[in-house]
Chains A and B, each alone.
Chain A
């Protein structure tokens, strides 16, 4: 959640129980369908293949955040704007392990959020323009 924190594979770290870690991530992923603010942070700590203590601490931090903001939820209002509006964005080489980008986007119908996503690209990009272009392309499919 913090601006400075970056997760990596952390190969030297202490291994934690994979089953526990996976179930924690699984429940948080379920929660992202109704809480868009968690979408990116849950996605960032998807190191299910080889979870370490540093990753587990971040997941615990997210759970603490959810506990603190338990009363938050999406509010839907009636709006006359009938158009479907989308927003898309990409960061450039955000992942420090393989330098791939993350694209994110959300769609609004009548000014209410209906769909959102946060996803790592399949390939590393050479420029932020390329990253944004790919983000636009993938958000439309």
Chain B
């Protein structure tokens, strides 16, 4: 879709804060606790193999998606807001 706007994005970088999950995308290891995952979620592995997506590790403090998953304390919340570009006008 981005090509319609004249932008050619080479690769999608995804930041994740779980190293084991990143390893699972590269090399599928069967483990009792990661066994029952629906097939559609394994789509990410195809993307990683096809080099369309690159997954990088990021520190929990710098993880911007935290604001969408859990209730945070006021300091973290406001820091993440600034990082997202959500600020006062």
B2 and A84 contacting across the interface, CB-CB below 8 Å: yes
Residue of A nearest to B10 (CB): A83
Task: From B14, B20, B24, B71, give the contact of A87 (CB < 8 A).
Answer: B14
Residues of A within 8 A of B12 (CB): 83-86, 140
Contacts of A135 in B (CB 8 A): 16
Q: Is the pair A132, B43 in contact by a Cβ cutoff of 8 Å?
A: no
Number of interface residues of A (CB under 8 A): 59
- Contact assessment for B67 and A37 in the assembled complex, using a CB-CB cutoff below 8 Å: yes
Chain B residues 30-77 with CB under 8 Å of chain A are: 32-38, 40-44, 47, 53, 55, 58, 63-73, 77
CB of A37 within 8 A of CB of B47, answer no
What 1/0 flags go to B2-39 for Cβ under 8 Å of A? 10000111111111111011001100000011111110
**Residues of A contacting B58 with CB < 8 Å?**
87
Q: Given A103-B69, A116-B68, do A141 and B85 touch, yes or no (CB 8 Å)? A: no
Cross-chain contact B89 with A86 (CB below 8 angstroms)? no
Q: How far is the CB of A136 from chain B (nearest CB, A)?
A: 5
CB distance from A20 to the nearest CB of B (A): 25
Q: Report which B residues bind A (CB closer than 8 A).
A: 2, 7-18, 20-21, 24-25, 32-38, 40-44, 47, 53, 55, 58, 63-73, 77, 81, 84-89
Residues of A near any B CB (own CB < 8 A): 1-5, 35-37, 39-41, 44, 71-77, 82-91, 94, 102-106, 109, 111-113, 116-118, 122-123, 126-130, 132-141
User: 5 tightest A-B contacts by CB?
Assistant: A104-B68, A137-B41, A89-B65, A127-B33, A132-B21
